[in-house]
Amino acid sequence: MAESSILQNRRGTRYLMFDDSATIADVFALRCRTSPNAPAYREFDGATKEWKGVDWREVGQRVACMREGLRREGLKASDRMAVMLKNSINWVVADQGAFAHGLVTVPLFVDDRPDNVAFILNDAGVKLIVIDGEEHWKRLKTVRDQLGSLQRILTVKPVNDPEEPRLALLSDWLPKEGGSYDRPEVKATDLATIVYTSGTTGKPKGVMLSHRNILSNVQSGLAVYDVFAEDIFLSFLPLSHMFERTADYYLNVVSGASIVFSRSVPQLAEDFKIVQPTIIFSVPRIYERFLAAINDQLKKASPAKRKMFDLAVDVGWSRFEYQNNRGPWKPSFLLWPLLKKLVADKLLSRLGGKLRFAVAGGAALSPSVSKVFVGLGLPICQGYGLTEASPLLAVNLLDKNDPSSVGPAVPGIETRIGENNVLLARGPNVMMGYWNNPEATRAVLSEDGWLNTGDQVRIDDQGFIHITGRIKEIIVMGNGEKVPPVDMELAIQMDPLFEQALVYGEAKPYLSALVVLNDDEWARVAAEANVDPRLDGDGRDKAEKLLVQRIGKQTKEFPGYAGVRKVTVAREKWTIDNGLITPTLKLKRAAIFKKYSQAIDDMYKGHVL
């Protein structure tokens, strides 16, 4: 790697600089040398009930020990190593230790089904895996006979299983001191990681990303956002997903910002108040949960407080539109300092009160959710990407933000519109291909490097990309009308009554929906409407009619032909364990259709197509 120097983004913020020959291990080592005493990571210690942090020097020492352990294990450059841990310092140490030794990391979702994990481990030929402890081993133990490629299973916590000779406690396995920091010859263009995308149908595909793919994407992000060494990230999306891995973890290595690993999603609200992050990257569902909590609080508030809230959001949103040259100046803006103090600051304190900006990605962010947070003074910048692009392709900027879009393409990435209005992208961040799957690679990646995203778009005069649909997720009704089910499902789920929703209607005369209800909210709604909440017997029709009405209120902005006329309530939640959603929380539509095929048929009985 070239001698270290400084990279400046367009606003003059200073970051580590590295040339195109750098690997992730090179950049990590450079960070440890450049700011050894600066805070790097912090996490909650369950034993002492305290938050404990490490600086870059200590992290570097732990990575050196990990690398030496891998050398003693007999692993060689390009061998594959899997990480199946919750977000933690150990995740970073395992990942960077693998890179330091020239290995290829394979991240795994901690809640993935054992059979899916076994498939990935065998498909990638993984030789070593790091897991948390007994809970994970109990799951993997059910597919023990399918883990033939593994030669070592490291556990962070003790596991008692005398019948499994491959098990070893990480603390016992690690050498007391790290060896030489000299690394094997690994090039920036070499494979760094294989990330399996859990498709909604079929077996997952292993996306191959090089060191250069990932680092170029970090550089693109830092070219448009100011991130300072003093910034604090709260990490809660799984590091097995490239959104979190690139945007939080690898970006923090380059920028020198610190990361605090959240305890869990159920404790996230409390962690926000404790950690007081300055920047977050999140999927829309987290923003929706916080908004639902605000709405619940407003239901109990006086009419005057609800009006004050609405006024704050409306004035704040109008100010935002004015600042982005999309609206006029209004006298009501003079009220903002007071509204900010009385309303906005108090509500945003739920998120710690120190957020400078937030980025939303992974799925479409509802405009109504965006309007509330932006109106309260929290800039949410919606972005877009996919694992095959490391993952960032486009994102809104703080001074160029159109929440109805996913922003313009980030620096270094070319975009164009292909056949059927599908977005094509090309750049140094685009994957090498799918692992052991040249046919799938050819289907999405052209010989000259253009990636077919599968998403239909329009690009406006200012370069903002607007997602208009997805080739494989469009319902064509019996009358030929086309409906985007994902957009409708997101709208339905804005009602806190509906935890999950799936819209159906392919070749049918009308749309129907399968939904999973929030039990507490349903009990309240049913009681208010004097409806039997049990959803059986004589009261079933009345209850389902009420649900259809609630769905109608959420989807009123869609065309008339896109109305949902029938609904079926699923008795169990759709989870990773029951195979109905992917680890990235996307619906496995085919699996849900199969499981509820009879219920779907019943919703169309008596209708001639």
* pLDDT tens-digit readout, 173-200: 999 888 766 677 899 999 999 999 865 4
What residue ranges do the domains of the chain occupy? 5-186+225-269, 475-602
Q: Is the dihedral of CA 527, 533, 538, 540 positive or negative?
A: positive
Nearest to 218 by CA among 64, 444, 408, 22: 22
What is the spatial distance between Cα 99 and Cα 599, in angstroms, rounded to a whole number?
50
Tally of CB atoms within 10 A around 523: 12
- For residue 453, give the 3-state DSSP assignment: strand
List beta partners, residue 42. 53, 260
What is the spatial distance between Cα 417 and Cα 458, in angstroms, rounded to a whole number?
8
* pLDDT tens-digit readout, 425-436: 999 999 999 999
pLDDT, position 365: 86
Asked if 195 and 207 touch (Cβ cutoff 8 Å), the reply is yes
- Point out the least confidently predicted range of 58-67, 87-96, 373-382, 598-607: 598-607
What is the spatial distance between Cα 453 and Cα 153, in angstroms, rounded to a whole number?
36
Residues belonging to the chain: 609
- For residue 380, give the 3-state DSSP assignment: strand
Beta-carbon contacts of residue 513 (< 8 Å; ≥ 6 apart)? 492, 501, 502, 503, 504, 551, 564, 566, 567, 568
Amino acid at 415: T
What is the spatial distance between Cα 95 and Cα 103, in angstroms, rounded to a whole number?
9
Which residue reads 């983004």 in tokens? Answer: 9
pLDDT, position 138: 94
What is the spatial distance between Cα 410 and Cα 402, in angstroms, rounded to a whole number?
15
pLDDT, position 284: 84
**Fold assignment, 475-602:** GMP Synthetase; Chain A, domain 3 (3.30.300)
Mean pLDDT of the chain: 91
* pLDDT tens-digit readout, 487-516: 889 889 989 999 999 999 987 888 999 999
**For 33-61, what is the mean pLDDT?**
96
What is the spatial distance between Cα 178 and Cα 198, in angstroms, rounded to a whole number?
36
pLDDT greater than 50 at residue 2:
no
- For residue 6, give the 3-state DSSP assignment: strand
Nearest to 342 by CA among 377, 317, 385, 299: 377
Beta-carbon contacts of residue 300 (< 8 Å; ≥ 6 apart)? none
Give the predicted TM-score (pTM) of the model. Answer: 0.83
What is the spatial distance between Cα 46 and Cα 393, in angstroms, rounded to a whole number?
38
What is the spatial distance between Cα 209 and Cα 564, in angstroms, rounded to a whole number?
41
pLDDT, position 606: 52
What is the spatial distance between Cα 507 and Cα 483, in angstroms, rounded to a whole number?
11
* pLDDT tens-digit readout, 512-567: 999 999 999 999 999 999 998 888 777 788 999 999 999 999 988 777 778 899 99
What is the spatial distance between Cα 379 and Cα 129, in angstroms, rounded to a whole number?
39
Percent of the chain past pLDDT 90, that is, above it, reads 76
pLDDT greater than 80 at residue 485:
yes
* pLDDT tens-digit readout, 97-129: 999 999 999 999 998 889 889 999 999 999 999
pLDDT greater than 90 at residue 296:
no
Q: Is the backbone peptide bond immediately before 391 cis, with ω within 30 degrees of 0?
A: yes
pLDDT greater than 80 at residue 306:
yes
Print the SS3 string covering 409-437.
Answer: ECCCCEEEECHHHEEEEECCCCCCEECCC
* pLDDT tens-digit readout, 130-146: 999 999 999 999 999 99
Residue 476: half-sphere exposure toward Cβ, Cα within 13 Å: 4
pLDDT greater than 90 at residue 481:
no
* pLDDT tens-digit readout, 572-586: 999 988 889 887 778
What secondary structure does DSSP assign to 467-504, as a single string? EEEETTS-EE-TTS-EE-HHHHHHHHTTSTTEEEEEEE
pLDDT, position 509: 84
**For 450-479, what is the mean pLDDT?**
87
Tally of CB atoms within 10 A around 246: 26
pLDDT, position 524: 92
> What is the CATH code for 5-186+225-269?
3.40.50.980
Q: Which residues of 296-329 are buried (b: 16+ CB within 10 A; e: fewer)?
A: eeeeeeeeeeeebbeebbebbbbbbbeeeeeeee
Nearest to 372 by CA among 287, 307, 452: 287
* pLDDT tens-digit readout, 311-327: 999 999 999 999 999 99
Print the SS3 string covering 267-304.
Answer: CHHHHHHHHCCCEEEECHHHHHHHHHHHHHHHHCCCHH
Asked if 8 and 34 touch (Cβ cutoff 8 Å), the reply is no
pLDDT greater than 80 at residue 149:
yes
Provide φ and ψ at 531, rounded to 5°: -115, 140
pLDDT, position 536: 78
Pairing state of beta strands 232-235 and 258-261? parallel
The pLDDT-based confidence of 25 (bands split at 50, 70, 90) is: very high
Asked if 483 and 511 touch (Cβ cutoff 8 Å), the reply is yes
Q: Which H or E run includes 134?
A: helix 134-141
Token pair, residue 456, equals: 């239909």
The pLDDT-based confidence of 607 (bands split at 50, 70, 90) is: very low
What is the spatial distance between Cα 387 and Cα 334, in angstroms, rounded to a whole number?
44
pLDDT greater than 70 at residue 11:
no
* pLDDT tens-digit readout, 70-82: 999 999 999 999 9
